[in-house]
Amino acid sequence: MAPIVSGFSKLSKDDKIKWLAEHHFSNDNNAISILETYWNSDKKLQRLHDEFTENTISNYYLPFSVAPNFLINDKRYTIPMAIEESSVVAAASKAAKFWQNRGGFKAEVLSTTKIGQVHFTYKGDSKKLEQFFISVKPKFIEQVKHITKNMEKRGGGITNIELRNKTDEIEGYYQLHCSFETVDAMGANFINSCLEQFAKTLTTEAKDYDSFSDTEKEIEIIMSILSNYVPQCLVSASVSCKVDELPNSAQLSSLEYAEKFVRAIRIAETEPYRAVTHNKGIMNGIDAVVLATGNDFRAIEAGAHAYASKNGRYSSLTHADIKDDIFTFSIEIPLALGTVGGLTSLHPLVKLALQLLGKPNARKLMEITAVAGLAQNFAAINSLITTGIQQGHMKMHLMNILNQFDATVNEKKQLIEYFKTNTVTHSEVVTQIEKLRQ
């Protein structure tokens, strides 16, 4: 067991690594060299990465890939994706290629409102609190002018502040429920700064409000924080075509394919066990774009899954139907994304990713990201209702297995050829490697 260490964050990077080597890697002579292998040779760039977060000892790489051929609102895109799962980029690219000849993807931002809340307790007459709120509301806006000035110049700012009575859920609990427009910024720092000032204004003004008793003047702020549930920061994307333009085979006609596809989506809409895996597949595509563009994929994940439960039951984020011989597949999802601030102006690959997309604003990035999720889901359902998910997935996973066994270039060439006509399983790959080596 490692000893407790004090002042670890103040140690140099070399000293941090020495401490780790002594207490955690003492039996691994390669540990330090592995950490150093992933340092960037450009010292200035490495220093930048070191300063993104605390206690940085190395860099953790993810593949930075691209998925071409996306036709979105009649404009062609090559989408950057940062992800380690082997089949995701291939699946997205395949879906993009399929739909580019059928009108491509349509996407639309429905709304861009973000939410923050000041949570507080108040012991007194709720009617008096409501009157107090009405009288002091202009001061909330006035006292954050120094924070909102630049955002307002860009077309954003505070759009509303409401007092919400939650005492039926928790005794004495109220909140300021605040709406914001942050334009091209994700806006977390902006929102939280406004909320903390609202909290100060609330408590200060309460002390001077004549209608309050001494007890009522003692409002207690519990916390002030933005919400990652953003059901009003919403984007939709869809594809559609005539049923006879869908895939067909000896096993499934185009109509049978469409009907089976719709049934698969219905199952994800009604069965939570399926819906979770279904939506995870959607997020494979979305998270990859969110990471590549320097946005917060944890916030996006949390908001998406909350939205999937908005009707009281966890359900699919995508929907499909057939009407008048037209097949339609769509998604509606909250995506609070930014193209300015944070890593977008610091991380070189993030800047490159945004350049690759034509330097989109936040609304355009919302559309592109939603499309990536829809494409990913289309590819997954297509596999599930036809060949099964493992055939394509394991073929993509083949290279990972070969690398686990340090396969040579020649061995890889022979085994890739072999598995073009044979099913990929871990045990079969091992068997074939051993045969080659004998």
Q: Which residues are catalytic?
A: 85, 280, 296, 393
Record the tokens describing residue 414, joined without a space: 């022979």
Q: Are 367 and 331 in contact (CB under 8 A)?
A: no
Q: Are 74 and 104 in contact (CB under 8 A)?
A: yes
Q: Are 140 and 204 in contact (CB under 8 A)?
A: no
Record the tokens describing residue 411, joined without a space: 């061995």
* Nearest alpha carbon to residue 50 among 317, 347, 273, 324: 347
Give the C-alpha distances (Å, rounded to integers) separating 211 from 128, 129, 131, 265.
Answer: 7, 9, 9, 57
* Nearest alpha carbon to residue 233 among 287, 281, 302, 320: 302
Residues recorded for the chain: 438
Give the C-alpha distances (Å, rounded to integers) separating 168 from 165, 177, 311.
Answer: 8, 17, 21
d(CA 329, CA 304): 18
d(CA 335, CA 109): 10
* Nearest alpha carbon to residue 67 among 375, 380, 402: 375
d(CA 184, CA 182): 6
* Nearest alpha carbon to residue 375 among 62, 74, 71, 110: 71
d(CA 1, CA 24): 9
Is residue 253 left, alpha or beta, with left meaning phi > 0 and alpha meaning psi from -120 to 50? beta
